[in-house]
Structure 1
Amino acid sequence: MVGAFRVGWWACWQGAPENKGKENGELIGFDEFDWIVRKHPEHAWRCILATGSDPRAQPFLGLLAAGPIEDLLGIHGDMFIERVEQLARQDPVFAWTLGVVWQCQMTDEIWARVQQVWDRRGWDGIPE
């Protein structure tokens, strides 16, 4: 099942012809990942991990962070912040991916914890 949602997300962000000129909510794959983040957060976490570990995702990691990761932490931050912290400490690519996350719906506490483990180098003009 993880693969099916990951495929939808890839279709959304890899410039599938059916997505040209559409807003986020109209993109193939966007609604599916949004729904799973909201309704099935454990499955969403597995999808995020699977997508982030796929070498083909490298050019899209900022979108993964600014979409599913940001939303997961905004909606279910208490359930996932410890996992996010642990992974960011173990995986420099994940810590770097977190660098593009914005606070949005996150509580101030969750946001502060994200900022403790992210790596902002290379984002928003910050030198690498």
Structure 2
Amino acid sequence: MHTQRALCACIHRLAGDYLLIAKENQPTLHEDIADLFEDPRPDRRRWQQAETWEKGHGRLEHRQITCSPDLNDWLEDEWEGVEQVFRLKRSIRLLKTHQLRHEVVYGLSSLSMQHAPPERLLRLVRDHWSIEIV
């Protein structure tokens, strides 16, 4: 809903930051980010990763995020202020039934990898219902 170019430009011009998920309402953006992370040949020296494990509410959740600045130049004309893109993989096991569910989401942020390394970005995505002042 909020992954819109004009919103990103407005936030950036007002010295704010954004962290957005690329969904079906932006299919080209979603595809561009997915292609980066699925390409087996990229130079991954600038990529960073983090993961968490949490147990609660009858489930075990594993989250792994991979962040990259490699699409910044490609996306910059349409997504003002972009500093990194990410792939978040979630695996959720229901403890009673042992049912396993996998999800992959892609996103972008105006927070640099220095200001929001993968551990912080993972926490920000997880805490999406709260407001964070950066």
Compare the two structures and name the one with the higher helix fraction.
1
Q: TM-score normalised to the size of structure 1?
A: 0.29
Compare the two structures and name the one with the higher strand fraction.
2
Q: TM-score normalised to the size of structure 2?
A: 0.28
